[in-house]
Amino acid sequence: MTSISFKTIADSAKAPGNSIVIYGVTSEGDSGVILRSPFIDKAIASADLNSLNFRGKTESTTRLISGSQTFGLVGLGRGISSVSQAREIGGAIGRSFKDQKSLVIDIPLASTEEALALFEGIAFVQYEFSKYKSSKETPSKISTVTLVSQFKISAAQIRKIKLLADTLNSTRDLINTPGNDLYPAKLAELIALDAKIPNVKIEIWDEKKLAKEKCNGILAVGSGSVRGPRLVKITYSPANAKAHLALVGKGITFDTGGISLKPATGILGMKYDMAGAATVGQATLAIAKLGLPVKVTAFLCIAENMPSGSATRPNDVVTFRNGKTVEITNTDAEGRIVMADGLILASELKPDLIVDLATLTGAARVALGNRYTGLMGDDASVELVKSAAQSAGELVWHMPLPEELFELLQSDVADMMNSRVGNPAGGMLVAGLFLREFVGVKNTKDKTSLNWAHLDFATAANNDLAAYGSTVKGATGSMIRTLVSLAEQLGTKTKK
Ligand code: BES
Ligand code: ZN
Ligand code: ZN
């Protein structure tokens, strides 16, 4: 459990001794200007920042020594103008001052929300994945964070920040673990270990049960591996549920591409291909720990995509549980095949909303760069997820599902195929259109589709560049907080 103690105090004179005091620096023209708090140390207030070449660039940090005390400075750019920016500044502080036990932060903030976000940023970057290093990095020393502010923060608010930080870290551990140690049965078992929570039930379906339930997509993708596939179903049903949310996550513990093998460069990083399953699983457990009044059913579609004598071949046809048939033209487009089973199962429960999360396409990076998650679906569901992401401070972008691209998936032998080999047009959108085919209807009479949103976080799930703001290197934990915030929003709605 994250053990940092967070508090606010109105008067910096009451700050604990032996602390590093951190001030904010805005950037004006080409110069950095220290934000003067009434409590600021005089020597610091008159420091010549230009001579230090510190110009207040947002998230930059530096240290100043005055007498026997060290002070910290953090760049705020043009000043903190949003809750999200406060979180990113917190992240920069949390990463740069890990060697200090006690931080006192004397930066003027505009609201309780900004103060909470600053604490979140600090908490969310206290993570190292050093399990496989024989010489471990020095762990963070931060044990107390004191914000000089008139805003009061409640114990429940601090508890939630810590729960989110813990959830992020356990999700990151799962995602960062290499494929030799994290195979389908292991991922299922680790999630089950975390699921001993009131009102939470967990089922693990092995190959036998998957065959009985006609989960032929998961079985087809898993058939090339000696380590068989799994489906994990997590149900959180509180007595006071105001809505039913179904979540579906892609859990490919390693994606070689299968018989349509990936090249040596493209295959690197494919241990991250189970991020969707780890995230929906851990988000469901966090929602349960918070006791939110929303029923959640999560389906984790888990397999290892390997080439072998028993692997699915290109041109094989899979018949799904709902009767639809798909010709597999590219075994590397396996995510949509396992997700189809999850979406069929979720649809059978007729929930109020289905949200699926997957590292689905390389095309997501081509379209949106490294930080944005692509969001597709019907307008009402997209709006709900967008507003949840906004309140969590996570980046999502609404992408279209253009009908004409669906034509690309017409097959001569089956109802559809899983990819149009050699046609890269709108790869992320074609995958979204494929998934939409497996979303069921609200009722058989008027055939209105269930509410559904699809998130493709192929790039946001993993940061292979340097850490920035409140985002760590490697597995990021992206979308955990959006899903929790979505459940919070659904919990405030009155049931129809
Ligand atoms: N797991 C990959 C998508 C991916 C790529 C995630 C890069 C993270 C980084 C997925 O299974 C895949 O291989 N998709 C193919 C689809 C194509 C064959 C239609 C892709 O994006 O190339
Ligand atoms: Zn693939
Ligand atoms: Zn994949």
pLDDT of residue 119 exceeding 70: yes
Q: What is the pTM of this model?
A: 0.97
Ligand 1 in contact with 456 (CB < 6 A)? no
Cβ contact 152:112 at 8 Å: yes
pLDDT of residue 463 exceeding 90: yes
Q: Report which ligand 1 atom has the smallest distance to the Cα of 266.
A: 7
One-letter amino acid of 162:
K
The per-residue pLDDT of the chain, averaged, comes to: 96
Span 102-117, mean pLDDT? 96
- pLDDT category at 336 given cuts 50, 70, 90 is very high
- pLDDT category at 494 given cuts 50, 70, 90 is low
Classify residue 93 by its DSSP letter: H
Which residues share a beta bridge with 249? 300, 357
Q: What pLDDT score was predicted for residue 2?
A: 73
User: What residues does the ion ligand 3 have nearby, CB within 5 Å?
Assistant: 252, 255, 273, 335
Dist. CA 429–CA 408, nearest whole Å? 11
Backbone torsions φ then ψ of 471, nearest 5 degrees: -105, 125
**pLDDT tens digits, 254-283:** 999 999 999 999 999 999 999 999 999 999
User: What residues does the ion ligand 2 have nearby, CB within 5 Å?
Assistant: 255, 332, 334
Active-site annotation holds for 473: no
- pLDDT category at 42 given cuts 50, 70, 90 is confident
Q: Which helix (H) or strand (E) holds 27?
A: strand 20-28
Q: What pLDDT score was predicted for residue 37?
A: 79
| Span from the CA of 28 to the centroid of ligand 3 (angstroms) | 46
One-letter amino acid of 241:
A
What residues have CB less than 8 Å from 179, skipping those under 6 apart? Answer: 253, 254, 270, 271, 304
pLDDT of residue 114 exceeding 90: yes
- Output the six-digit token pair for 132: 């496989």
pLDDT of residue 1 exceeding 70: no
Cβ contact 92:107 at 8 Å: no
- If one residue of 221, 327, 332 were mutated to test the ligand 1 pocket, choosing by the most ligand atoms within 8 A of its CB, it would be 332
Ligand 1 in contact with 394 (CB < 6 A)? no
| Span from the CA of 153 to the centroid of ligand 2 (angstroms) | 45
Classify residue 100 by its DSSP letter: -
Active-site annotation holds for 262: yes
Q: Report which ligand 1 atom has the smallest distance to the Cα of 427.
A: 19
Ligand 1 in contact with 332 (CB < 6 A)? yes
pLDDT of residue 495 exceeding 90: no
Q: Is 253 helix (H, G, I), strand (E, B) or coil?
A: strand
pLDDT of residue 216 exceeding 60: yes
Q: Report which ligand 1 atom has the smallest distance to the Cα of 359.
A: 6
**pLDDT tens digits, 399-434:** 999 999 999 999 999 999 999 999 999 999 999 999
- pLDDT category at 317 given cuts 50, 70, 90 is very high
Q: Which helix (H) or strand (E) holds 317?
A: strand 317-319
Cβ contact 321:216 at 8 Å: yes
pLDDT of residue 496 exceeding 60: no
Q: What pLDDT score was predicted for residue 72?
A: 96
Residue with structure tokens 């700050």? 15
For atom 17 of ligand 1, which residue has the closest CA?
333
**pLDDT tens digits, 59-86:** 999 999 888 888 999 999 999 999 999 9
Span 343-357, mean pLDDT? 98
| CA 305 from centroid of its chain's CA atoms | 22
Ligand 1 in contact with 361 (CB < 6 A)? yes
Dist. CA 414–CA 286, nearest whole Å? 41
Half-sphere exposure of residue 116, counting CA atoms within 13 Å on the CB side?
Answer: 19
